[in-house]
Amino acid sequence: MTAPCVLIVDDDAALLRALPQALHIRMPDVAVETCDSAPVALERIAATDYDAIVSDIKMPGMDGLALLERIRALRPETPTLLITGHGEQDLTIQALRAAAYDFIQKPIDRDYFIASLTRAIQVRQLRRQVEEQRRALERHAATLERTVEERTRELRAANAAKDEVIRARDAALAEARRATREQREARRQVEQLAAQLGEQAAQLDTIFEAMVDGVFVCDAEARIVRVNAHGAALIGLSVERVLQPLAEFAHTHAFSYLDGTPMPLDEFPLLRALRGETHTNLRLIIRQYETDQDVPVSVSSAPIRDQQGQINGAVAVVGDVTELYRLERQKDEFLSIASHELKTPLTSLKGLAQITHRRLVRAGSAEVPHVQKMERAIGRMETLVNDLLDISRIESGKLALRVEPADLKALCAQVIDEQVAATERRIVFEAPEGSVEVEVDVDRIGQVLTNLLSNALKYSPEDSPVALSLAQSDDEMVLAVRDEGPGIPPAEQSRIFERFYRSPAVQVRSGSGVGLGLGLYITREIVERHDGRLWLESVPDQGSTFYVALPLARATAGATIQDPRHATSSLC
């Protein structure tokens, strides 16, 4: 602690000297400063925090009481002792009212003065200590408050963090519970699916094995990976021995076409399916292993695709059609024999009818119309028998063409004349100027035109128009036979070219209803044999147009074109 310091203010120079000396003797630790006027004292007091101030009351200018008032304002804690003259009670009272610490009467009792000053200094120092302690306390309190605030903040933060942790833990727990539930549900579903799949696989296995047809499945590398017992039996091997690369079969148990020509490996249905092709009812022969027996089969094959549409295998269903094949042969034989046997008497009948007709005309007989009717009936029978004969020729590969140069326009006109004479219907003919030279079998193309025109007339109302047009494109002549008949439903449009197929949706509108459903089949065969094309455009209730496109020039003019297929047979 620094030494206490006292300021003595008095205009009395003698006292201003004496008092410090006295104090120095009696209170050697106390530093004493003096000044002789109140204004100077105030300056000092403003600069220094004295432990006590001693001031005379009576001073010129500002007196002690005024100084006291200023000190109270400036340094309220500094005890101020006022020196009064003897008997100046009222000043003393004023001094006390103005909160002077003590007053010292002149003449100054040194002991009293020292004692009072000592107390004043002690009071001041105590106050200072109290003040310091108060400040220290305040600081401490402030520190404490800050610490408490900080701790509170930390606690709050910790609490919030704990709450957050708890929330996160609860959420994680809930999530874990949900995930467990979902996992359990997923496992249940997977097990259920696995059970269903197992059942389905068992069902499929049963179906697979119970199928009357042989089923072959190969992978993307053309290796047979599955076959049922019937399939293995068809090629005369055990199931295990069939499971090998398809190429192995090319050497041993190859497929062949119906005419016996061996089928190249590339053409095997499973390999074609691996190239993306789908086929139904391909008629082939399988040579059985060991017995070397030929089995006619019908094969349908298709690619197997994964979810991205990539081909990762192929399947072929192979049915033994031995019985069907035998029946077909029988039927073909019957048709051939029947049509040949019918043809001869029919030709005689036709000849006789013509002679009779001429004779009756010459005799002016009224029976002429009856014979004409007979001739027409014989003509229709002849058409049917000719169709049957053509079918057996086509089936046995004996439909030969005699190609020669011909004027297609003249041929059209001739067929139109025949049809007009037979039906008394009108046929519109549109053709380019001049002749249209082609190289065709005139009889067969005449037959094509007759078939198409007679159909157009037969299936359209009597009063509706039928037209034949002839037009030339770059390298083809295109014939179009148009009618305004009932049209053909889209679903039937490809079927009407099949053998014996007659659309149930189409009724005969005029002329004879006789027909076997062979005309379009034969027509297509003839057109294709000429390297031509036959197609149809038809809208139900609006009519049909059949198109025939024939190549303009044929290198084989004058030659006979043999049927390229021998003994092939197909059920369409």
Chain contacts with ligand ADP (rule: CB under 6 A): 451, 455-456, 459, 483, 485-486, 488, 496, 501-503, 506, 515-521, 544
* Comparison of 55 and 419: residue with beta carbon closer to ligand ADP: 419
Nearer of residues 423 and 451 to ligand ADP, judged by Cβ = 451
Nearer to ligand ADP, 27 or 384 (CB): 384
Distances (CA, A) of 482 to 4, 142, 445, 547: 141, 113, 17, 9
Smallest separation, CB 375 to ligand ADP (Å): 20
CB of 489 to ligand ADP, least distance (A): 10
Phi, psi of 108 (to 5 degrees): -80, 125
Contact 185, 292 (CB under 8 A): no
Q: Which is nearer to ligand ADP, 34 or 451 (CB)?
A: 451
Residues 41 and 62: their CA atoms lie apart, in Å, by 10
Residue 563 CB, shortest distance to ligand ADP, in Å, is 20
Q: How far is the CB of 562 from ligand ADP (least distance, A)?
A: 25
Q: Measured between alpha carbons, how far is 330 from 389 in angstroms, rounded to an integer?
A: 15
Cβ(395)–Cβ(525) under 8 Å? no
Closer CB to ligand ADP, 432 or 461, in the complex: 461
Q: How far is the CB of 454 from ligand ADP (least distance, A)?
A: 8
CB atoms inside a 10 Å sphere around CB 98: 16
* Contact indicator for 334, 271 with CB cutoff of 8 Å: no
What the block records as the tokens of 168 is: 């996160």
* Burial degree of 294 (CB within 10 A; 0-12, 13-18, 19+): middle
> Closest CB to ligand ADP among 300 and 493?
493
Residue 357 or 482 with smaller CB distance to ligand ADP: 482
Per-position DSSP letters for 79-107, written without gaps between them: -EEEEE-TT-HHHHHHHHHTT-SEEEETT
Tokens of residue 156, six digits: 């709050």
Closest approach of Cβ 533 to ligand ADP, in Å? Answer: 17
The residue with tokens 């991205």 is 308
Specify the residue, 78 or 544, whose C-beta has the smaller distance to ligand ADP: 544
Cβ-Cβ contacts under 8 Å for 98 (sequence gap 6 or more): 65, 68, 69, 72
Rounded to a whole number of angstroms, the minimum distance from the CB of residue 572 to ligand ADP is: 12
As measured in angstroms, the least distance from the Cβ of 488 to ligand ADP is 5
Q: Which single residue brings its beta carbon nearest to ligand ADP?
A: 515
How far apart are the C-alpha atoms of 186 and 192, rounded to whole Å?
10
CA-wise closest residue to 217 among 243, 178, 188: 243
Torsion of CA 351, 355, 356, 360, to 10 degrees: 150
User: With contact defined as beta carbons under 8 Å apart, do 452 and 548 qualify?
Assistant: yes
Q: Least distance (Å) from ligand ADP to the CB of residue 506?
A: 4
Chain CA centroid to CA 444, Å: 55
**Strand partners for 224:** 218
> Which C-beta is closer to ligand ADP: that of 20 or that of 540?
540
Nearer to ligand ADP, 23 or 549 (CB): 549
Shortest Cβ distance from residue 569 to ligand ADP (Å)?
A: 19
